[in-house]
Structure 1
Amino acid sequence: MKSSFNLNGRVPSPLRAIDPDRLKARRAELGISRAELAARCGVSTRMVFFYEEGRHTPTPARLERLAAALGCDLDLLTGTRRGSETLVDLRYAAGLTLERTVELLRATPVGRKLGVSTVKLSALEQGHSVRGRHWDEPETTGRLVGALATAFGVPVRMVLDAWLRIRPDEPAPALPGRRADTPAKTAIDMWQSLNDRQQIYLGEIMRDDRMTETEMWMRRAQHLPVPRAARWRKLPLTLGAPASVVGYTRLQERLRRRGVHDPGAGATVHALARRGLVKITEDSVEVAGVGEVERVLVEITRTGRAAARAGLGEPRDPGPPEHLLSEWLWRVVVRVAAAEPEGLDDDALAGRSLFYIGVGYSGRAGRRPSRGLIDSVPVKAEDGSHVLEYRWCLTPLGRRHVVEYLPAYQELYPHVEVPALGWAPGAHQCGDSP
């Protein structure tokens, strides 16, 4: 197959290249001719013929235009499922040749230290042993992961995941943790643009949000039910009944102690909302002896939290290192890991988590693909004649991720219980070929 990129004489698999049969099938499905597709993509009819015959591989830019012209996702044309990308896929998607990538890496300290060459980079991409000094040092390869991420224009975690997929038997590159840094200038400017009253309101809303978060953590530690964060982060501000009857909300009490709770509260909160610092919603709640009363809720936004931290001199929470999951996603992975080797029922997982860790998923348009740590795997009848059900299982990368980073997660989220895993790395798992 002729290609617009020099892949050092070999075509790795899987390559982010077009699948001729998929291209022909999609064009036939839409009922358009090669000439019409060529006109939509800005190429010749002969070139479309070459694509469909597997005699030429389109460049990343043309691949994007083909997908747009056919009204489909790139995955449909390439056969590479989101969350299963390799280093070659990332390089190809960035439109880089092997030589150009080496040139970019040699301009970095780590690239020079490792003596990166086309031979070494090709071996790295193929999962072969790379000869040379320092290649067995996780700290050094961790810096190389960062350099590759910069060259490819993708997050570090995407390069790390691709690396671990093709090099499962080597020590994982060691990535640095995130550091708490100084507030962003935009956050400082936003805080300084508020008047004294607005600053007090925003600060107290953030403190009440933080107290509520601690309460939810304590409930979780005591194995009590915890509502979704989208619900408990909406803090009660006012009740539509006299305070002499229903009392004050906790947030009102905070503001009263600061001497700013008065009839002007609504105007102040709405001023914060117009700046995107808080969100205001309303609902109703049943109050004993009174009945149903209207309630105003306020929720601090990320922008509001950043501005409050900047103004109050609090360092920004660094969060988990980029290659580790949030607590929410880690809990999902733990559930799937605990269900191995049988797997988790297909209906047991739903919601947004799949868009971050499920193979074949991605977020909204323009978002990065899933990390591919879990997959919905078919369970076939004993005679292999049909599929009985689908079950969620860890992918090979998912198992490696759990084993590699379990100590880090236990330190990061000590309150998340990880049951004894009934499997070992390399053991047969659900979805594996027997």
Structure 2
Amino acid sequence: MPLPVRVIAPSRLAALRERAGLSKAELARRVGVSTRMVFFYEKGRHTPTPQRLQKMAAALHCDVEELTGVRRGEERLVDLRFAAGLTLDQAVELLRRTCVGRDLCLSAPRLSALEQGRPVLGRNWRDRDVVGRLPTALAKIYGVPVRMVVDAWMRTRPDESAPVHPRRQPQRGSSDSAEAAWRSLNERQQVYLGEILRDERMTETEMWMRRTHHLPVPRPAEWRKLPLALHAPADVVGYTRLQERLRRKGVHDPGAGATVHALARRGLLVTSTDVVHHAEAGEVTRVRVEMTRRGRAAARAGLGERAEQQPDTPLLSEWLWGVMARVADAGPDGLERDALSGRAPFYLGVGYKNRSAGRPSRGFIDEVPVLAADGSHVVGYRWKLTPVGLRHAFEYLDEYRRRYPQVDTTGVAALAGEHS
């Protein structure tokens, strides 16, 4: 039986080796093979084992996907195994230690059939409840999130239903305690808490942009401490961004300190001070505020937002599902490239990942080139749903409608009708 392998692109290997400044002999030493074998790899005459492929990627300071040519967000089951550096036998050995591995009588031929998209025969393989436990076991031995295994499974086996379905849970609104905490505040305190939440979100976005541009990012425990005030004349040091927010709301005055301390006494904020250097004022004391989880929940309740919750595997958040719906609503022509800004492509777009050392995106949308009328050149790009993006949308449409009823899914439903 032919076993699935991931071949490396010879020209890609040579280019990456030269970029890393390594000779064939040095790369061979780091991988643990002969120089002649590296020569064979670069000529496409041999394919490295998963372990050697992983060592090669480490030596070249790249991802395994860069060697195999598989774009981020297009991984199949075999790619996840190769990225983990496991052979079929090694993966099966680990899986047979799990309950689901024993229930399915996992073997190398069966795992190979699963990875090749062929029917898998054997006891319990038609039991969806048993098979539905396998992605979690695979995720554990491959060291990836379960959603990556589910997405890879759906790419590998496109004619089957999704292996995992989310638990049905009632919608949760804001908790009674959060609403009670908000109602206990006077109008001024509510304005303060709401503006601090907005400033925290703006800071979070700024940290995200720094990360995507490979700039240093402080720990969340540090950047969540928002500058509130400097103990120096305002005509010398100016106002902090949070003070400017409060000034626009008409509540920044000598009573600010009392308001902040009242919020802190209720456990909604934590205040701290440090000393910073100002170009004109010299060393000045800075007051910072940090929202507690209770304060964040109270602010969300007061602003009419539902309690934050992580979507069940393998569902998207409401925000990302809304992005998918927008792309679907654009129809067969796709959505203008510039219509999607911010972080969405890093979570959904093929070829993206959400941070420098993070996991690949879901691969649910892709930038498709638009050719000129005569086909001579590319005039632009548009976002379209990928095949696995379409499958995900169709498979979980009813569940998304139940969880996120305010998201318009007309475009998704229309596509589902066309493909039914």
Indicate whether 1:416 and 2:418 are aligned.
no
1:116 aligns with one of 106, 111, 121: 106
> In structure 2, what is the equivalent of residue 11 of structure 1?
4
Report the equivalent of 2:387. Answer: 396
State how far apart, in whole Å, the 1-side matches of 2:398 and 2:150 are. 18
Deviation, 1:67, is 3.9
Partner of 2:319: 328
CA deviation after TM superposition for structure 1 residue 9, in Å? 2.5
Q: Answer whether contact 2:227 2:289 (CA < 8 A) is retained.
A: yes
Matched residues in 2 for 1:91 and 1:59: separation? 11
State the percentage of identical aligned residues: 51
Deviation at 1:68, TM superposition (A): 4.9
Kept after mapping to 1: 8 A contact 2:367/2:383: yes
Q: Give, in angstroms, the shift of residue 109 of structure 1.
A: 2.2
| Alignment check: 8 A CA contact 2:272 2:287 kept | no
Q: Which deviates the most, 33-42 or 397-406?
A: 33-42
Q: Which amino acid aligns with 2:2?
A: G
Distance 1:148 1:52, change over 3 A: same
1:341 counterpart SS class: helix
Question: For 2:203 and 2:47, how far apart are their aligned partners in 1?
Answer: 46
Distance apart, 1:347 and its partner CA: 1.6
Shift of 1:399: 0.5
| TM-score where L is the length of structure 1 | 0.66
Determine which of 134, 159, 174 is the counterpart of 2:164. 174
| Alpha-carbon separation, structure 2, partners of 1:410 and 1:423 | 14
Q: Residue 363 of structure 2 corresponds to which residue in structure 1?
A: 372
* Aligned equivalents of 2:388, 2:15: Cα separation in 1: 31
- Name the structure 2 match of 1:352: 343
Contact 1:356 1:362 in 2 (8 A): yes
On the 8 A contact 1:377/1:392 being kept in 2, the answer is yes
Which residue of the partner structure matches residue 100 of structure 1? 90
Contact 1:101 1:151 in 2 (8 A): yes
**Residue by residue, what CA displacement relative to the aligned partner does 1:37-86 show, whole Å, maximum 9, x if unpaired?**
44565643212102112232224454344345545544332111111111
Which among 367, 378, 383 is matched to residue 387 of structure 1?
378
Give the aligned partner of residue 209 of structure 2: none
Cα distance between partner residues in 1 of 2:350 and 2:205 = 28
2:272 matched to 1:270?
A: yes
Between the aligned partners of 1:245 and 1:347, the Cα distance in structure 2 is 38
CA contact (8 A) 1:176 1:321 kept: yes
Conserved? CA contact 2:327–2:385, under 8 Å: yes
1:3 matched to which residue of 2?
A: none
1:164 to 133, 154, 158: 154
Q: Give the secondary structure class of the aligned counterpart of 1:111.
A: helix
| CA distance in 2 between partners of 1:149 and 1:176 (Å) | 16
- The equivalent residue for 2:328 is 337
- Partner in structure 1 of residue 141 of structure 2: 151
Cα deviation code 1:88-113 (max 9, x no counterpart): 11112222222232232232222222
Q: Is the 8 A contact 1:142 1:173 kept in 2?
A: yes
How far apart are residue 251 of structure 1 and its match? 9.8
8 Å Cα contact 1:374-1:395 kept in structure 2: yes
Q: CA deviation at 1:133?
A: 4.2
RMSD: 4.6
8 Å Cα contact 2:348-2:365 kept in structure 1? yes
Shift of 1:367: 1.3
Q: Cα–Cα, structure 1 residues 385 and 351, in superposed 2: closer, same or farther, change >3 Å? A: same
User: Which letter does structure 2 place at the counterpart of 1:9?
Assistant: P
Q: Give the distance between the partners of 1:365 and 1:245, measured in 2 at CA.
A: 41
Distance, in Å, in 2 between the alignment partners of 1:53 and 1:411 is 53
Q: 1:149 to 1:229 in 2, by over 3 A?
A: same
Cα distance in structure 1, aligned partners of 2:27 and 2:372: 42
Corresponding letter in the other structure for 2:407: V
Q: 1:305 aligns with which of 283, 287, 293?
A: 293
CA apart distance, 1:363:
2.9
* Equivalences, count: 351
Q: Distance in 1 between matches of 2:141 and 2:354?
A: 23
Helix, strand or coil: the match of 1:80? Answer: coil
Change (3 A) 1:140 1:270: same
CA distance in structure 1 between the partners assigned to 2:66 and 2:311 by the alignment: 34
Q: Which residue in 2 is equivalent to 1:91? A: 81
Contact 1:82 1:361 in 2 (8 A): yes
Structure 1 pair 107–30 and aligned structure 2 pair: CA distance change class (3 A):
closer
For structure 1, the residue ranges without an aligned partner over 5 or more in a row are: 1-7, 181-199, 217-226, 275-279, 281-294, 310-315, 429-434
Consecutive unaligned residues in structure 2, runs of 5 or more = 171-180, 207-223, 230-242, 277-285, 298-306
SS in 1 for 2:92: helix
2:96 touches 2:105 (CA, 8 Å); kept in 1? yes
User: In the alignment, which of 66, 70, 92 is matched to residue 80 of structure 1?
Assistant: 70
Assess if the C-alpha contact under 8 Å between 2:330 and 2:411 holds in 1.
no
CA contact (8 A) 2:50 2:86 kept: no
Partner amino acid, structure 1, of 2:4: V
1:52 aligned counterpart, secondary structure = helix
Q: Identify if the C-alpha distance between structure 1 residues 250 and 95 changes in structure 2 by more than 3 Å, giving closer, same or farther.
A: same
For the residues of structure 1 that align with 2:367 and 2:338, how far apart are their CA atoms?
10
What does residue range 194-273 of structure 1 map to in structure 2 within 5 Å? 212=194, 230=204, 239=243, 246=252, 253=259, 255-256=261-262, 269-270=271-272
Once the 2 structures are TM-superposed, how far is the Cα of residue 319 of structure 1 from its aligned partner? Answer: 2.2
> Equivalents in 2 of 1:260, 1:422: separation in Å?
47
Asked if structure 1 preserves the Cα contact closer than 8 Å seen for 2:331 and 2:411, the reply is no
Aligned residue identity for 1:353 = A
**Could you say if the C-alpha distance between residues 250 and 111 of structure 1 is closer, same or farther in structure 2, counting changes exceeding 3 Å?**
farther
Q: 2:415 is matched by which residue type in structure 1?
A: A
3-state SS of 1:360 partner: coil
1:209–1:142 CA distance, 2 compared to 1 (3 A): farther
The alignment partner of 1:96 has SS state of coil
SS at match of 1:270: strand
